C-alpha cells in the first residue's frame, strides 16, 4: 500500500462512518413503530376484517342461526369443517334435521372465507382474535356450537281473519215466558154472550 492508497482508505472509512451515523441519527427523531408485544396487548388494534378463526354467531339469548344445511362443509376446499346432524320429531308430527356437532380444524384452515360467504343464514363469521397459538395440534380442533342447544318457543297461533273478528256476536234467543195458568174468570165461554142476551 502506497501513501495515496493509505489516505484514500482513511477517507473512504470516514465517509461510510458519517453515512451510517446519519442514518442512525435520523431514526432518533422518527416515529417509533416497534410493538412491545405482549405488554401492549390492551392497546393493540387488530383490523376488523382480519381472519383469525371461524366462530358461531350467538345472539344474546344463546341462539345461533345454523340450520345444519352443510353448505359450508361442501364448499370448504380442504375438509376443515365436519358437521354431524340428527333427526328430531316436531310436535306437529314432522321431522327436522338439527345440528349435533360443528367441528372446525383451525390447523387446516386456509382462511379463504368460502364457508362464510356461502352460508345462507349468516350463522358463522371470522373473529379477529389472533392469539390462537397452542401447544398441541389437537387443541386446534374446535367445536363451534359450544353452547347447549335451546329449543325455540312454539309460534303463536295465527290471528283470526278480520271478517270473522268483525262478525257481531249472536244474541241469545229470548226465553219464552212461562204460560200462566188461565184464570177461570178470564176464560169466556163461547155461549156467554148468548146468555146475557
Ligand atoms: S375459510 Fe376456507 S378453508 Fe377455512 S373453513 Fe372456511 S372454507 Fe374451509
Ligand atoms: S353454518 Fe351456515 S352453511 Fe354451514 S351448516 Fe350452518 S347454516 Fe349451513
Q: How far is Cα 158 from Cα 161, in angstroms, rounded to an integer? A: 9
Query: What's the rounded Cα separation, in Å, for the pair 33 and 27?
Result: 11
Ligand number with the minimum distance to the CA of 71 = 2
pLDDT digits (tens, 9 = 90+) for 166-182: 555 545 555 555 444 44
- pLDDT band with cut points at 50, 70 and 90 for residue 32: confident
pLDDT at 183 over 90: no
Closest residue to atom 4 of ligand 1, CA basis: 109
Residue 192 has pLDDT above 50, yes or no: no
Expressed in angstroms and rounded, the spacing between residue 155 Cα and the centre of ligand 2 is: 23
Query: What residue's CA is closest to ligand 1, atom 6?
Result: 115
CB-based contact 114:75 (threshold 8 Å): yes
Q: With a 6 A CB cut-off, is 123 part of the ligand 2 pocket?
A: yes
Model confidence at 186: pLDDT above 50? no
Nearest bound ligand to the CA of residue 73: 2
Residue 172 CA to chain centroid, in angstroms? 54
Closest ligand to C-alpha of residue 102 is: 2
pLDDT in tens, 76-125: 999 999 999 999 988 888 888 999 999 999 999 999 999 999 999 999 99
Ordered by where they begin, the domains of the chain are 50-143 (3.30.70.3270)
pLDDT reported for residue 162: 54
Q: Model confidence over 5-25: pLDDT tens digits?
A: 999 999 999 999 999 999 999
Q: Residue 153 — pLDDT band, cuts 50, 70, 90? A: low
Is the distance from the beta carbon of residue 116 to the nearest atom of ligand 2 less than 6 Å? no
Amino acid at each position: 500500500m502506497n501513501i495515496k492508497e493509505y489516505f484514500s482508505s482513511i477517507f473512504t472509512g470516514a465517509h461510510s462512518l458519517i453515512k451510517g451515523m446519519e442514518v442512525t441519527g435520523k431514526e432518533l427523531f422518527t416515529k417509533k413503530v416497534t410493538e412491545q408485544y405482549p405488554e401492549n396487548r390492551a392497546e393493540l388494534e387488530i383490523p376488523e376484517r382480519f381472519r383469525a378463526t371461524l366462530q358461531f354467531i350467538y345472539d344474546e339469548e344463546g341462539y345461533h342461526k345454523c340450520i345444519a344445511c352443510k353448505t359450508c362443509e361442501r364448499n370448504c376446499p380442504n375438509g376443515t369443517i365436519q358437521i354431524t346432524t340428527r333427526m328430531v320429531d316436531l310436535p306437529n308430527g314432522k321431522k327436522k334435521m338439527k345440528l349435533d356437532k360443528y367441528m372446525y380444524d383451525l390447523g387446516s384452515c386456509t382462511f379463504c372465507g368460502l364457508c362464510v360467504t356461502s352460508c345462507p343464514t349468516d350463522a358463522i363469521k371470522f373473529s379477529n382474535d389472533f392469539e390462537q397459538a397452542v401447544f398441541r395440534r389437537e387443541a386446534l380442533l374446535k367445536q363451534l356450537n359450544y353452547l347447549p342447544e335451546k329449543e325455540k318457543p312454539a309460534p303463536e297461533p295465527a290471528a283470526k281473519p278480520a271478517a270473522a273478528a268483525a262478525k257481531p256476536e249472536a244474541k241469545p234467543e229470548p226465553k219464552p215466558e212461562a204460560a200462566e195458568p188461565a184464570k177461570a174468570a178470564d176464560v169466556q165461554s163461547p155461549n156467554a154472550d148468548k146468555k146475557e142476551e
